[in-house]
Amino acid sequence: MEALADGSGGSAEAQACLVPRSLYIHVPVCASKCAYCDFFSLPAASWSESRMAGLVDATISRLAGLISRFGCDGFDTVYIGGGTPTALPAALFDRLLSGVAALAASPGEWTVEANPESLDEGAIATMLARGVSRVSLGVQSLDPARLAILGRPHSAESATRALALAAGSGMRVSADLIAGIPWPRGAGGAAEGPSLAEQVSLLLDLGIAHLSVYDLVLEDDTALARAVEAGELEVPQEDDLAEERDGAEAVLSARGFRRYEVSNYAPAGLECAHNLVYWKMGSYIGSGPGAVSTLQATGPSPWGRAAWPSSLRIEEAQEIDGYAKGGAVESPIGTKESAYETIMMSFRTVFGLDKTAFRRRFGIEARSLIGRTLEAWAGQLIETRDSLSLDPGGLDLLNRFLVDCLIELDGTFPAPGQS
């Protein structure tokens, strides 16, 4: 990604930031609310079609505004997520995709998230017609009992049917699974239903090219958290969860899928290019209620911190009917926060932290900021001439490593002008 250098287009902001070549669209609509979910999404049945149409049009119009403001000239990656984009009525799903295609012609990778209950032949045909190249399917589990605990609106059979449909379309298919799903207290969940490793094996047989395995996070004020608090369900012990994940990882590794990010697996070259932009601290724009844009400055910040480069974060209002009126919150991100974000995002992947890029951006070596932590974690670090990354055992302990980095960074980060 490059900054505009010739002053030919866009505002001063556009000329001073890495021009975004990635785009995210948030569609806050789902078939129903899952028991563990705290994302911004509303059940489709609570919407009138005209309300949804208004939101689709407002999302496209906001996207056009962001493209113009930041001087975007084409996109390498597009990601339409949510929510469940395929839960839109068919005509509106096509309206959204054709609006995006008109503004973001022929991206190298275009992903659309889908759920099994709404991924049908019609949705696949629309995606192919508009240029979508990748489908990310929320499977979460192939065990009927666990799907019921998660409150998912689909069955294991409909998930495998949707996966086969997507894989047969020629688009690349990614699937999501959840590890560590709580189980009725005392019912011996580990022995019930297909194991995570067996589920992974089934998904691989169906032709997926990418897999995300997320550990379940109990979010406050969700139905699942309340069931655990009430003692109806129990979360697996850490050792059981580690065993579950290790079993799944062994299957993946035997089939050529490497763990390239804490929760993500793919054969080399089939990683999710869009998510890599987040992890490598690229610029991206986001449209739709709750979406986020991050613009990385390349030089003196146009956002009020002249001495040091920083970033601008734009958080779109979580409004449905008022979304067209704007109301996004814009926050300049200071250099120290940007440096921590860079560390936090980079160490998530096996590609790790790019030492040269870090020095160029922040005017200081990463080792000068987190040297003590790097020493303490030396046994789980891989250092090359260009990069620093965690080995597989270190990735399992990522959060502890990041806490150590943050504590150290607090004491070592120089004040502006003192590099």
Residues engaged in binding ligand SF4 (CB under 6 A):
30, 33-34, 37, 39, 41, 82-84, 115, 138
Q: Which DSSP string corresponds to 27-43?
A: E-EESS--TT--SS-EE
Q: In the complex with ligand SF4, which residue's Cβ is closer, 210 or 305?
A: 210
Residues with Cβ within 8 Å of 402's Cβ and at least 6 positions away in sequence, in order, are 343, 344, 347
In the complex with ligand SF4, the residue whose CB is nearer, 84 or 141, is 84
How far apart are CB 117 and ligand SF4 at their closest, in Å?
9
Output 152 or 245, the one with its CB closest to ligand SF4: 152
Nearer to ligand SF4, 34 or 213 (CB): 34
Q: How far is the CB of 240 from ligand SF4 (least distance, A)?
A: 23
Instruction: Give me the residues paired with residue 176 across strands.
Output: 138, 212
CA distance 385 to 267: 25
Give yes or no for a cis peptide into 334 (omega within 30° of 0).
no
| Upper half-sphere CA count for residue 154 (Cβ side, 13 Å) | 23
Structure tokens at 83: 């929510």
Other Cβ atoms within 10 Å of 242 Cβ, number: 14
**Minimal distance in Å, beta carbon 249 to ligand SF4?**
24
Interatomic CA distance for residues 226 and 204, integer angstroms = 34
Nearer to ligand SF4, 139 or 409 (CB): 139
| CB-based contact 312:295 (threshold 8 Å) | yes
Q: Return the amino acid letter for 350.
A: V
At residue 339, φ and ψ (nearest 5 deg) are: -65, -40
Beta carbon of residue 354, minimum distance to ligand SF4 (angstroms, whole number)? 32
- For 313, which DSSP code? E
- Measured from the CB atom, the residue of 41 and 310 that comes closer to ligand SF4 is 41
**Nearest-approach distance from CB 291 to ligand SF4, in angstroms:** 14
CB atoms within 10 A of CB 205: 11
Q: In terms of DSSP bridges, do strands 172-179 and 134-140 run parallel, antiparallel, or are they unpaired?
A: parallel
Q: How far is the CB of 177 from ligand SF4 (least distance, A)?
A: 13
Give the residue with the Cβ less far from ligand SF4, 180 or 309: 180
Closest contact distance (angstroms) between CB of 140 and ligand SF4 is 8
Residue located via tokens 């489908």: 135
Min CB(30)–ligand SF4 separation in Å: 3
- Please tell me the distance from the alpha carbon of residue 144 to that of residue 186, in angstroms, as a whole number: 19
Tell me how far, at minimum, the Cβ of 234 lies from ligand SF4, in Å.
Answer: 21
**End-to-end Cα distance, the chain:** 26
β-pair partners for 258: 266
Q: Which is nearer to ligand SF4, 18 or 233 (CB)?
A: 233
* CB of 10 or CB of 83, closer to ligand SF4: 83
Q: Give the integer Cα–Cα distance in Å for 162 and 112.
A: 14
